[in-house]
Amino acid sequence: MRSWGDLFNSRQKLALITFADKVREAHKKMLAEGYDEEYAKAVVSYLALGVNRMATYLVVLTRWRPDAVSFERAFDRQALPMIWDYGEVNPFSNVRGQWDLGPMLEAVEHISMFSINATITQTSATSLPYHDNYFDAVFTDPPYYDNVSYAQLSDFFYVWLKRSVGHIYPDLFSTPTTPKSAEIISDPYRHSGKASSKEFFESMLKQAFQEMYRVLRPDGIAVIVYAHKSTEGWETLINSLLDSGLVITGAWPLNTEMKSRLNAKETASLASSIYIIARKIKRDKTGFYNEVKEELKQYLNKKLHRLWEEGISGADFFIAGIGAAIEVFGKYEKVIDFEGNVVRAGRLLDDVREIATNYAVKQILHNGFTGEISDLTRQYVLWRWEFGEAKVPFDMAHKLAQSCGVELSREWNKPGGFIRKEKEFIRFLGPQDRNIEDLKDSSELIDVLHLALLYWERSRRDEMLKLLNSTGYGKSEAFYRVAQAISETLPNESKEKKLLDGFLSGRERIQAEINKKSAETIKQDQLF
């Protein structure tokens, strides 16, 4: 598929072009029959949106669902996926995907009940057509860094709207496709590289936030919704906010995402969006980094405790921690270290990750034994809690490893290790993915646990008991606490969880046998 036209077969193109033409014809007839011009414009606008709605079904990316006896539109998510075969909708049939304006009519009827009219303006967020101190409140859900190429996807709808109502909205449809050069997203292809695309996104977002600051009244409130999971995405947002003049006074996660959505299955997707509350109030001039860091630690630990009690977990826990941290950092116009260097968001995020990591591990292990396990095992426990069994982009994995004191690149190159690099992703192997021979000579807690699980699964009990006895882990409460903690983080269908639960169910018997063997060994030593 090399052009938008390739998304439609000849019959679908003919149908959609015909419908678009009939919308234009309806507009002409309404005007000819004396309808009010604005009324006619509104009616055909809704008809045009109906054509667009149908286009998402009348396309060669439409799936047939035999279980629901229905067609599924092309846009299951913010992308156009390839499919093996497609189902073709008859727009006049009595199935989903037909020429059905019912949902749109319900929305129009509901909106019509409001007595106060809304004013809709299409303009750039970096140059708002309002005077200073104009709004009581500003709400925005800005683009999430590099998540979605909105303008490119919008071309799918733009071309049909232009054909049907472009003549009555000439200012909105003056270009062949959607304008893209000023779109505030990070797109390395468009901006000639990753570094320049990040710089573009941060600069443009800063301008947008500065405009929000300008049009907001002194006692007004701004709400910014953000849900990107990468460090780079948050770094650009925070720097843009800090440079805008807005002061962050609160940040909380709200559960907004479907856990069953397609990209949540194998990747470490977020379940929450962070709602950042900002106000137009005076900030302190300068904060010194060592003092701000101590303030951050005290405040963040309190906030993390509340987040933990609220049930926030995994990747959402760390992202929510970032939201809490900028409440502290944002109070100052700038934060400097003793050498006079301005501390930016990157360093703040490193601090947040370290504080949140220490807190999370302590809670996962139920307030104990954190000092008895190695950095590598801490990282494994935290990974399973934060990401489960998902693969994770290198940037996220690297930051987590750093906060645990682990050199990621050294570990994935280690023969027989549990860390694997798959292109730009990192995956942690469970015991079921590892080989017994690779684990026999390791004394690392997580390796011994995996080896014990493999022995248990294969009913090699004597070897399992010998392993636990010789390493000393069979009598270690920390060993079993780690095993329990990992089990609690995994879903019921996980193979690793099933192995852990089976192993832990016989813990008392295992320890009794190890103690018996130890007693026999001591007795034999005394005899000789």
- Rank 77-81, 87-91, 311-315 by mean pLDDT and report only the highest: 87-91
Asked if residue 146 belongs to a domain, the reply is: no
460 with 379, same domain: the answer is yes
CA atoms of 234 and 245, how far apart (whole Å): 17
Asked if residue 198 belongs to a domain, the reply is: yes
14 with 66, same domain: the answer is yes
376 with 514, same domain: the answer is yes
Tokens of 168: 């009555």
232 with 304, same domain: the answer is yes
pLDDT of the residue at 290: 87
Tokens of 325: 């941290």
Is residue 134's pLDDT more than 90?
Answer: yes
Mean pLDDT of 210-230: 88
> 106, 101, 87: which is closest to 53 by C-alpha?
101
Phi, psi of 352 (to 5 degrees): -60, -45
Pairing of strands 419-422, 63-65: unpaired
Is residue 98's pLDDT more than 70?
Answer: no
Asked if residue 124 belongs to a domain, the reply is: no
The full 3-state SS of 355-401, as one line of letters, equals HHHHHHHHHHCCCCCHHHCCHHHHHHHHHHHHHCCCEEEHHHHHHHH
Is residue 265's pLDDT more than 80?
Answer: no
Indicate the number of domains in the chain: 3
Tokens of 335: 């934060």
CA atoms of 141 and 127, how far apart (whole Å): 17
Give me the sign of the Cα torsion angle 426, 428, 434, 436: positive
Mean pLDDT of 418-443: 91
The chain-wide mean pLDDT, for the chain, equals 85
* 459-515: pLDDT as tens digits: 999 999 999 999 999 888 889 999 998 998 898 899 999 999 999 998 888 888 887
CA atoms of 368 and 5, how far apart (whole Å): 61
In the chain the first and final C-alpha atoms are separated, in Å, by: 81
- Rank 166-180, 275-289, 355-369, 508-522 by mean pLDDT and report only the highest: 166-180
250 with 339, same domain: the answer is yes
Beta bridge partners of 125: none
390 with 489, same domain: the answer is yes
Q: What percent of the chain has pLDDT over 90?
A: 32
Is residue 222's pLDDT more than 90?
Answer: yes
pLDDT of the residue at 51: 92
- Which position has the token pair 């727009």? 91
336 with 392, same domain: the answer is no
CA atoms of 374 and 363, how far apart (whole Å): 17
Asked if residue 293 belongs to a domain, the reply is: no
Is residue 199's pLDDT more than 80?
Answer: yes
pLDDT of the residue at 138: 95
Asked if residue 249 belongs to a domain, the reply is: yes
- Rank 147-156, 214-223, 236-245, 355-364 by mean pLDDT and report only the highest: 214-223
206 with 331, same domain: the answer is yes
Mean pLDDT of 95-114: 77
Asked if residues 317 and 307 have their Cβ atoms less than 8 Å apart, the reply is yes
200 with 333, same domain: the answer is yes
Beta bridge partners of 72: 63
379 with 509, same domain: the answer is yes
* Length of the chain counted residue by residue: 528
The full DSSP string for 292-339 is: HHHHHHHHHHHHHHHHHHTT--HHHHHHHHHHHHHHHHTTEEEEE-TT
Is residue 4's pLDDT more than 70?
Answer: yes
Q: How confident is the model at residue 432 (pLDDT cuts 50, 70, 90)?
A: very high
CA atoms of 330 and 238, how far apart (whole Å): 9
Asked if residues 192 and 109 have their Cβ atoms less than 8 Å apart, the reply is no
pLDDT of the residue at 258: 47
Asked if residue 16 belongs to a domain, the reply is: yes
pLDDT of the residue at 369: 61
Residue ranges making up the domain that contains 248:
194-288+299-350
Is residue 133's pLDDT more than 90?
Answer: yes
CA atoms of 143 and 141, how far apart (whole Å): 7
454 with 493, same domain: the answer is yes
Q: How confident is the model at residue 63 (pLDDT cuts 50, 70, 90)?
A: confident
Asked if residue 126 belongs to a domain, the reply is: no
346 with 468, same domain: the answer is no
pTM: 0.75
Pairing of strands 284-288, 425-428: unpaired
* 151-195: pLDDT as tens digits: 888 999 999 999 999 999 999 999 999 988 888 888 888 878 888
Asked if residue 216 belongs to a domain, the reply is: yes
